[in-house]
Structure 1
Amino acid sequence: MGRVVVRDAKGGNDMAISATEKPLSRVFMSDYRFTIPSFQRAYTWQAENILQLVCDLQDASASANTPYFLGSLILVRNGDCKYQVIDGQQRLISLSIIIAVLRELETDPVLLEELDELILEPGNKLRGITAEPRLRLRDRDAEFFRSYVQEGDLEGLFDLRDGDFETRAQYNISTNARQVFDELAKLDDDDRHRFASYLVNQVTLVIVTTDDLAGAHRIFDVMNMRGVPLTASDVFKAKVVAAMSPAARNVYAARWDDIMDPIGDDAQVLEEFFSDLHLVVSHKPMCTQLLEEFRKDVLSPYINEQHVISFIDELLAPYAMAWRVIDQPTDSTLPDDVVRQLVLLNDYPTSDWKTVAMWALVHSIGNLGNADVEIVTGSPTRGETEDKQTNREPIRMHDGTRLRTILQALERVTGVDSLNRQSPLVRRTRMANAIRGLDRGYTMPQNKGFLITDEDRRSALAHLRGELQTNPKMNRLLLIRANEQLAGGRITRPRSLNAMPILPDRVAKDSPFAAWPESVRDFWSARIGNLALTQANEQQLTPLQTFKERRDRMLMSASSKRFPLTEQLAHIDDCTAKTLQWRQDETIRLIAEFWNIRYDEGNTDLSVLDEQQLTHGSSSRTPNAKRVTIAQVLASGLLIAGETLVWERPRKGERWVATVTDDGRLRLEDGNEYSSPTAAARAVGGASAGLSVWKRTSDGCKLSEIWKTYRMQKR
């Protein structure tokens, strides 16, 4: 790769383009100052996106000398070492978050400094380089990202609540930082250093640069829209058909198309399908080099034994049909109770469960791979006549009981692992173990892939009892489970259904909720007892400040009243903290019963235990990104009741003093008390103030440093 000059077909001007592949150690350096232009979209990566990247890198780092290509960046020069990012901002921001978390977890001062320099340019007077972050986001999010992520105030970031974020991008940054922290904190020092070294030296990007903005957009179009690159299906089809006899090639090339065309031509979806099929066959949880590993582990045995036709008829066809059924269960001709179980599984934001569901369908329906089987309704297969449609054979389910048992157990372990925020590697390892056990004919109690331990139960219920650290889709799922458990069966869902808070996110001064102690509002703001299923959305509820207004808007649609926990709001005239506590206890009990995790092996009712009782004695010794409270730091002895904290603002001539109370709050000089340092700071300093502004008067130590010490004591 190098520098080339191309002629602009529209204007006739020469346009210099350079393309070079570089490791991250050569990307996050003084030669590049990245800016996200204001016209670019915001940061949209979700937790599952960044966790998948971390998991892929962890798996790849096992082969330390094998590079990991992460795609391309398209840049426009904007002066010496300055570049506008036209394509690649999602990866740059996510990589910066990963590096910031590695820096936060690092104790070696040399490595800490090296990680710091990857995201913060230290400056060089001789070269005329000023000290500043290597990546600048759009104006709305730049200061937020700089202060919390790039400058290393993750403690302040973890102390924020949902109402503290001004944009969705800021919420995504916070959520993703928490998720990455929890994942990387599980590694010991050696594994984390190995991961960091691999990230810096073996992860590569192709840097495509030009001087012309319009030209950069044309490059983007060419790289992303012109031409149709080969998909995994195209590659595997070519290998399989080439291994057939000439007489069979045309017939089975068409057969392959008939099987795969209904899945679509989205390259990512096709990769997911073949990765899942690879796990089913090989029992290997991760597949980082799909084309090579699928050929070696799946195709080669069929090719070597000259049974490639059986690969298509006996493996590809039934599993492709199973994939289609899973994707659109309500369009299938399966029994209603099986459809319901597949609908429940599709509620999850993760998809690792599909591997076991595919296995269960293929091994329970004898003719699933037959071309004439009638299992998915809708448009006919390419070239299929109307007469042929009417003559399609019905499904032959030979083991419906086992299918239902597997799907029920699968939904249970998926739910518990989702609540416990298990990594993709852990989830897929569980699925691989489940399929291995099923292949060996183990009973369900013998199959460790479906095993839920007492520690799993306690951890899941602790997450339910505490502040929810799940995304909106998972919150909605939890409430659906609780409502259907209470209703005793499936509830028909409206097209739009949201898990919305009973308390307003931002309480106005004239709101009745303003009379609640701030600490009580703070406690309930992120707990499941404060949520209800409704067709109302955030935009409709945000302006409403009284319980009656919010309740009536939630119940406006008759569809919302189908859910008993929501319908109960109609019988409540005034919402109190006791109301939310009752809803919390009831919801947790219902979810625990739905997943059969209410009782441990000693028959203790775990659903009635508080968060501290559930986590007491846990074997986990890794820190996590859960918000640290003043009360916890007091109990640890790192902070003492009666100590004073100060926030000096000499440029504004302001000095704010707070006193630590014995019940875990900060009392300002005006007598108002707050349950979090961020809440106290924002009460006097505005929306941008956070935990890190407070210093202990006795030694000048920042609260963020004290909070980090507490968090890392778990190690």
Structure 2
Amino acid sequence: MAINAKELSLGKVFTPDYRFFIPSFQRAYIWKPENILQLVDDLRGASLTPATPYFLGSLILVHDEGTRFEVIDGQQRLVSLSIVIAVLRDLEKDPEWMRLLDALIVEPGDKMRGIANEPRLTLRERDEAFFREYVQEGNLEALFDLSDDDWTSTAQRNITRNTRKVYDELSVLSDEERHALASYLVNAVTLVIVTTDDLDGAHRIFDVMNMRGLPLTSSDVFKARATSGLKPAELDAYAQRWDDIMDPLGDDSAGTEEFFAFLHLILTHKPVTDRLIEEFLADVLAGPLEKGTVPAFIDGVLAPYAAAWQVITHPSDTILPEGPRLRLEALNDYRNHEWKPVAMWVLTHSFRHLGSPDVSPFARRAGRSAHAEATLQALGAHDLQRLDDVLAALERVSGIDTLNRTPTADRRGHAAAAIRDLDKGYPVRLVRGLAIRPDDRAGALVRLHGEMQGDDELVRLLLIRANEQAAQAHLARPRRLSALPIMPVDIERSASFGNWPQEEHDHWAYRLGNMVLAQGAGNQLDRMTEYDQRRDRILMRADSRRFPLTAELKDFGECTPAMLRHRQEETIRLLADYWDIRYDENHTDLTRQTVDVLAKDSPKPAHSSRRVTIRQVVAAGLLIPGEKLVWERPRKGERWYATVTEDGRFRLEDGSEHASPTAAAKAAAGGRASGGLDVWKRVSDGRGLADIWKEYRRQAA
């Protein structure tokens, strides 16, 4: 078995030297939006220091023949990187940049050299054509036009949702920022390519690299350096003290690195880059080592901040007063963690003896509620109102940043600014980094009014906040809690919704007013088309009825546009009250403002991946009622025509009308083909609908 390993930049991996194939025995693409968004966040943050490489791990490959390699480990990253590049290509306006980005995921081919036009990555057979047609070949508009019924596998659902999320995330960047990110991807993102010619050998390599290796953690490195300067009499005691402090944090190396990165931010007021070990040693440990104050650092800095980390990780197990405890539980709902250093700072500065080996903030060791007050006194609790105020402001900023999709670097900047001002003793209302600007407020309200398609995690979070605001209390959550749509996706077969205009259904389908919290799985309503069936199923469990906005459904015998409008307005108002963004400086109620008025005070909206409707394109004058479209399949001798209607639908030759190009294509071909928006062309000039849809999206941005 021959083994070869080398580190290459992404620009040297996505070349004709490698054609990647996912073997049939491999699992499907399983990354969720939170996984790929974390990758995008990391890459964007790393690209701010373009001279610093970003290591993306290893690929384990079996060399088949020529340039063909089977991927044993690395599928999730390769698919996700392809999605990121495809989105950058779709957002690009410069033809040369488009060509260069395209060449990263599709080999352009060269007849003279005998190189075929082929994708650089081929998925498993079930998903290969889907990924190639929609992502690799650049048909993102057609991908965005798909509905839930158009996916034939979980991997296809994940590909669609992840592409939407990456599109929304990267569309907020300027052309220069996207170019910088693309250049960083090609030149500074590196992978270690491990190849063998034997499948069994590849699996053994995988086992060794992922199961048996026990590399030093950042804590091990820092401990070794910190204790290196101690006197023999202190060495054993403080080496043990370090272990006693760090062991409760667990053996998750990523979590430990995050702790030290945030400790670095707290102590230096600057976010760490990808060189955590180098910067922590230079910026944090060098001082105590030089001054001989390592014991004081371990007892007075490491211990209290590690204890604060434990508190924010498991707030429900502590003896904290209810207000701060519930604030921390709410903060843990967010996918982003840039709130943690501020929470660590305020906890450490609210308890003089936090981290002391003699007293614990956790109830299991401190005793029941009867002893909580005594334990708080033993911890040296002081100014707990300030603790609650900081955590409340921190949760507010985290919520607004989440709605506005604030970049990671900006969130870290908010945290650094907040800690800098808190160190100076500023009152909470004057702390930069905890303040909400008018444009942030307006942007958040615009987002609340808009569609939330493919953002299940955010919808669930927003509904929890709105319901707790309505109840004016913390609401216990069932183990499995889902955000469910009141209306079915398909209303054509529904008596309850059959008389709804399609555009009305499309308007509300992905907005907050159409969503409710309910116990159970997210697909429990999939086969129910009638409102009363869906309502009764939602209200069946007591754990669902405890949420006020869910319980309201019992008062509505039918679902109407007015009902959904009422729910939308109520939900937005509750959220605006929760985060204190309802009124501006002149006491104007912003929840009564139209989206157009609010948008004037918010940053320019980005291209969104939301589905573009035929009606919108007709209203923009890009399609004309009465004109004909054609879908031709010359090899099969098939041709279908559709006519654009006044009300924004496609009418087929059999008289049936359809609200989306994908639905019209499926109906025309009898459901036999996966054709969508990209198959239709305008008869008059041969222009494809995907181009027209893209033009509309850019005009609307």
Give the TM bin, normalised by the shorter chain: over 0.9
Q: Name the aligned partner's letter for residue 36 of structure 1.
A: I
Separation in 2 of the partners of 1:466 and 1:674? Answer: 24
| Contact 2:351 2:379 (C-alpha < 8 Å) held by counterparts | yes
Separation in 2 of the partners of 1:318 and 1:169? Answer: 44
Corresponding residue number in structure 1 for 2:612: 628
Separation in 2 of the partners of 1:49 and 1:558? Answer: 33
Is 1:603 paired with 2:603?
no
Separation in 2 of the partners of 1:124 and 1:511? Answer: 56
Corresponding residue number in structure 2 for 1:587: 571
Corresponding residue number in structure 2 for 1:204: 190
| Contact 2:496 2:558 (C-alpha < 8 Å) held by counterparts | no
Residues 21, 143 of structure 1: CA spacing in aligned structure 2 closer, same or farther, 3 A cutoff? same
After TM superposition, give the deviation of residue 670 of structure 1 in Å: 4.6
| Contact 1:66 1:202 (C-alpha < 8 Å) held by counterparts | yes
**Counterpart of 1:646 in 2: which secondary structure?**
strand
**Counterpart of 1:513 in 2: which secondary structure?**
coil
After TM superposition, give the deviation of residue 544 of structure 1 in Å: 2.5
| Contact 1:373 1:392 (C-alpha < 8 Å) held by counterparts | no
Corresponding residue number in structure 2 for 1:538: 522
Corresponding residue number in structure 2 for 1:704: 690
| Contact 2:242 2:298 (C-alpha < 8 Å) held by counterparts | yes
Residue 346 of structure 1, aligned match among 332, 342, 350 = 332
Is 1:358 paired with 2:358?
no
Corresponding residue number in structure 1 for 2:241: 255
| Contact 1:52 1:424 (C-alpha < 8 Å) held by counterparts | no
After TM superposition, give the deviation of residue 230 of structure 1 in Å: 0.6
**Counterpart of 2:191 in 1: which secondary structure?**
strand
| Contact 2:493 2:529 (C-alpha < 8 Å) held by counterparts | no
Separation in 1 of the partners of 2:668 and 2:298? Answer: 68
Is 1:37 paired with 2:23?
yes
Separation in 1 of the partners of 2:177 and 2:326? Answer: 42
| Contact 2:503 2:615 (C-alpha < 8 Å) held by counterparts | no
Separation in 2 of the partners of 1:602 and 1:650? Answer: 65
Corresponding residue number in structure 2 for 1:287: 273
Residues 171, 118 of structure 1: CA spacing in aligned structure 2 closer, same or farther, 3 A cutoff? same
Deviating more after overlay: 138-147 vs 218-227: 138-147
Residues 639, 243 of structure 1: CA spacing in aligned structure 2 closer, same or farther, 3 A cutoff? farther
Residues 261, 216 of structure 1: CA spacing in aligned structure 2 closer, same or farther, 3 A cutoff? same
Residues 379, 228 of structure 1: CA spacing in aligned structure 2 closer, same or farther, 3 A cutoff? farther
Separation in 1 of the partners of 2:376 and 2:644? Answer: 74
Corresponding residue number in structure 1 for 2:508: 524
Separation in 1 of the partners of 2:177 and 2:470? Answer: 45
Deviation digits for residues 88-127 of structure 1 (CA, Å, limit 9, x no counterpart): 1111111111211222233332332222111112234465
Report % sequence identity. 56
After superposition, residues 552-567 of structure 1 pair within 5 angstroms as 552-567=536-551
Q: Name the aligned partner's letter for residue 80 of structure 1.
A: G
Deviation digits for residues 427-473 of structure 1 (CA, Å, limit 9, x no counterpart): 22222222122122222332221222222222212222121146323
TM superposition score normalised by structure 1: 0.91
Corresponding residue number in structure 2 for 1:484: 468
Deviating more after overlay: 157-166 vs 496-505: 157-166
Q: Name the aligned partner's letter for residue 408 of structure 1.
A: A
Separation in 1 of the partners of 2:147 and 2:424? Answer: 48
Q: Name the aligned partner's letter for residue 430 of structure 1.
A: H
| Contact 1:536 1:554 (C-alpha < 8 Å) held by counterparts | no
Deviation digits for residues 236-275 of structure 1 (CA, Å, limit 9, x no counterpart): 1111111222211111111111111111001111111111
Is 1:246 paired with 2:232?
yes
TM superposition score normalised by structure 2: 0.93
After TM superposition, give the deviation of residue 133 of structure 1 in Å: 0.7
| Contact 1:677 1:691 (C-alpha < 8 Å) held by counterparts | yes
Residues 517, 632 of structure 1: CA spacing in aligned structure 2 closer, same or farther, 3 A cutoff? closer
| Contact 1:372 1:392 (C-alpha < 8 Å) held by counterparts | no
Deviating more after overlay: 432-441 vs 507-516: 507-516
Separation in 2 of the partners of 1:438 and 1:419? Answer: 25
Alpha-carbon RMSD across the aligned residues, in angstroms, is: 2.5
After TM superposition, give the deviation of residue 219 of structure 1 in Å: 0.4
Residue 60 of structure 2, aligned match among 65, 74, 80 = 74
Deviation digits for residues 308-353 of structure 1 (CA, Å, limit 9, x no counterpart): 1222111111111111111111100111122111111112222221
Separation in 2 of the partners of 1:536 and 1:161? Answer: 22
Q: Name the aligned partner's letter for residue 240 of structure 2.
A: A
After TM superposition, give the deviation of residue 295 of structure 1 in Å: 1.4
Corresponding residue number in structure 2 for 1:224: 210
Residues 391, 254 of structure 1: CA spacing in aligned structure 2 closer, same or farther, 3 A cutoff? farther
5+ residue gaps, structure 2:
367-373
Corresponding residue number in structure 2 for 1:387: none
**Counterpart of 2:477 in 1: which secondary structure?**
coil
After superposition, residues 386-397 of structure 1 pair within 5 angstroms as 394-397=378-381
Residue 32 of structure 2, aligned match among 24, 34, 46 = 46
After TM superposition, give the deviation of residue 615 of structure 1 in Å: 2.4
Residues 332, 247 of structure 1: CA spacing in aligned structure 2 closer, same or farther, 3 A cutoff? same
**Counterpart of 1:455 in 2: which secondary structure?**
helix
| Contact 2:122 2:128 (C-alpha < 8 Å) held by counterparts | yes
Separation in 2 of the partners of 1:612 and 1:670? Answer: 40
Residues 589, 65 of structure 1: CA spacing in aligned structure 2 closer, same or farther, 3 A cutoff? closer
Corresponding residue number in structure 1 for 2:371: none
After TM superposition, give the deviation of residue 680 of structure 1 in Å: 3.3
| Contact 1:50 1:176 (C-alpha < 8 Å) held by counterparts | yes
**Counterpart of 1:534 in 2: which secondary structure?**
strand
Residue 314 of structure 2, aligned match among 299, 322, 328 = 328
Separation in 1 of the partners of 2:29 and 2:622? Answer: 36
Corresponding residue number in structure 2 for 1:402: 386
5+ residue gaps, structure 1:
1-14, 381-389
Is 1:432 paired with 2:399?
no
Separation in 2 of the partners of 1:426 and 1:106? Answer: 24
Return structure 1 stretches of 4+ with deviation > 6 angstroms: 390-393
| Contact 2:535 2:554 (C-alpha < 8 Å) held by counterparts | yes
After TM superposition, give the deviation of residue 75 of structure 1 in Å: 0.6
Deviation digits for residues 137-158 of structure 1 (CA, Å, limit 9, x no counterpart): 1223222211111001122223
Residue 688 of structure 1, aligned match among 668, 674, 678 = 674
| Contact 1:326 1:342 (C-alpha < 8 Å) held by counterparts | yes
Deviating more after overlay: 341-350 vs 647-656: 647-656
Residues 57, 536 of structure 1: CA spacing in aligned structure 2 closer, same or farther, 3 A cutoff? closer
Deviation digits for residues 394-435 of structure 1 (CA, Å, limit 9, x no counterpart): 432201111111111111111111112222222222222221
Q: Name the aligned partner's letter for residue 333 of structure 2.
A: D
Is 1:475 paired with 2:459?
yes
| Contact 1:348 1:473 (C-alpha < 8 Å) held by counterparts | no
Deviating more after overlay: 190-199 vs 414-423: 190-199
| Contact 2:261 2:271 (C-alpha < 8 Å) held by counterparts | no
| Contact 1:375 1:394 (C-alpha < 8 Å) held by counterparts | no
| Contact 2:21 2:71 (C-alpha < 8 Å) held by counterparts | yes
| Contact 2:142 2:677 (C-alpha < 8 Å) held by counterparts | yes
Is 1:188 paired with 2:178?
no
Deviating more after overlay: 240-249 vs 612-621: 612-621
Residue 267 of structure 1, aligned match among 229, 253, 256 = 253
Q: Name the aligned partner's letter for residue 440 of structure 2.
A: D
Separation in 2 of the partners of 1:660 and 1:437? Answer: 59
Is 1:154 paired with 2:154?
no
Separation in 1 of the partners of 2:200 and 2:410? Answer: 45
Deviation digits for residues 31-55 of structure 1 (CA, Å, limit 9, x no counterpart): 2111112222222333343333333
